[in-house]
Amino acid sequence: MAFEVVDRGYDFSALSERMQWYIDSEILGCCASVVVKNGEVVHFNTQGYRDVESADPLAPDAIFRMYSNTKLVTSVAAMILVEDGRLELDAPLAKYLPEFSDISVLKSDAQSVEDVEPVKSPPTVRQAMSHSAGLSYGFIEPMSVVDQAYAAIGIDILGDRTMTLAGLSQKVASVPLAYQPGSAWRYSFGTDILARLIEVASGEAFDDFLSQHIFAPLAMPDTGFHVPQSQHGRLVSMYAAADLLDPMKPGLPKVDSSESGQYLTKPSLLSGGGGLVSTISDYLRFLLMLRSGGSLDGVRIVSEDSVRAMRTNELQGDLHVSFPMWAMPGTVFGLGFAIRESLTDDDHPSALGEYFWGGMAGTHSFFSPKADLIGFNLTQRMPGYWHPFSHDWRSEVYRVAG
């Protein structure tokens, strides 16, 4: 474990007990929790199993699939290039990716991919970062016209790791946009397109750029797009929900492990939206860098202005973050982060201005500037974002340290 836990008298026993209840109830296979207050790690706990079937306990150096936590890393990488003048936030995507030069937009009442209208203004780098460029994701609304069009040309971000970022960009650009750029928010391939932009603007492979400019400077040796063979035994097994329509139903069918699966060899698709694996220690260093305004241990990754821009709302008018399967009231989006613009009755007062995101396998992180608080939680349950366990965990972190 590459960090020190400081005892400041916080009692997180109720948090650990609640997460253990989820493990004992066979809703989670494991849970790692980290809480940072005023820049100090004041709570760290690992519970459950790296692999449930073998009863192998979850170790502090376990390797997790980070899924959409990858988006934060990609967004920081993009801001590095913005600072260097090699990438312009307000430039059209087509400036760097010519495949986006000739695009159209689905009409609001489109019944097929042929029901299109001209684009009023071209999608920009800024809009790709904030999921307001008109792109979709292919699996969140599978019956929609745009997602069916993605499927028809073989775009499968969850199952196909044989594409390249260049190939993915070409395919995505061949489908009409889901809406006029800037007029809506829709979770999307925007951050994968951003990864391709990073390759083009830097002249480097995406993984090489991340290694050189983020992972090596921050001493994150176990973060990358696959698990080396010598480390396969550290990879946490992945479990699915017993019933997608009942998130609290017990049962953990295994869907991926350290013996087989997608993350044991380097993929062709270096997904900027969800491809990374990492560890508690590695990703915590990345979070601490963001908390400190872009630097850690004397090493600057991005400027304070860039971090501030990332957690500033980019959505126009009254647009908010929304998903078909759950509500996220009072939530807007910046350059990589969601931001709590207003609170619900259940929110802690210190959550106002919180910036956050997480991954579909139940990996979450949030920052509260008001309380100088970071919460970082790792599980491997698919789907595990916006699950009841994550709400319980976040509420308890705020109750104790907010």
Q: What is the pLDDT of residues 166-175, one digit of tens each?
A: 999 999 999 9
pLDDT exceeds cutoff 90 at 244: no
Same-domain pairing of 117 and 253: no
Q: What pLDDT is attached to residue 1?
A: 63
Q: What pLDDT is attached to residue 245?
A: 85
Domains contained in the chain, number? 2
- What percentage of residues in the chain have a pLDDT greater than 70? 100
pLDDT exceeds cutoff 90 at 260: no
Domain end call among 207, 242, 268: 207
pTM greater than 0.95 (yes/no)? yes
Specify the 3-state DSSP secondary structure of 165: helix
Q: Region 60-88: what's the mean pLDDT?
A: 98
Rounded distance, CA 127 to CA 213, Å? Answer: 24
Same-domain pairing of 46 and 140: no
Domain end call among 207, 241, 268: 207
Q: Could you report how far apart the first and last alpha carbons of the chain are, in Å?
A: 25
Q: What pLDDT is attached to residue 156?
A: 84
Starting at the earlier edge strand, list the strands of the sheet with 363-368: 56-57, 40-51, 30-37, 373-378, 363-368, 355-359, 338-340, 331-333
Domain end call among 168, 183, 207: 207
Same-domain pairing of 45 and 91: no
Rounded distance, CA 147 to CA 150, Å? Answer: 5
Same-domain pairing of 39 and 146: no
Rounded distance, CA 387 to CA 360, Å? Answer: 10
Rounded distance, CA 201 to CA 399, Å? Answer: 44
The amino acid sitting at 49 is Y
- For every residue of 344-387, which 3-state class applies, written as one string? CCCCCHHHCCCEEEEECCCEEEEEECCCCEEEEEECCEECCCCC
Same-domain pairing of 223 and 272: yes
Same-domain pairing of 140 and 194: yes
pLDDT exceeds cutoff 80 at 159: no
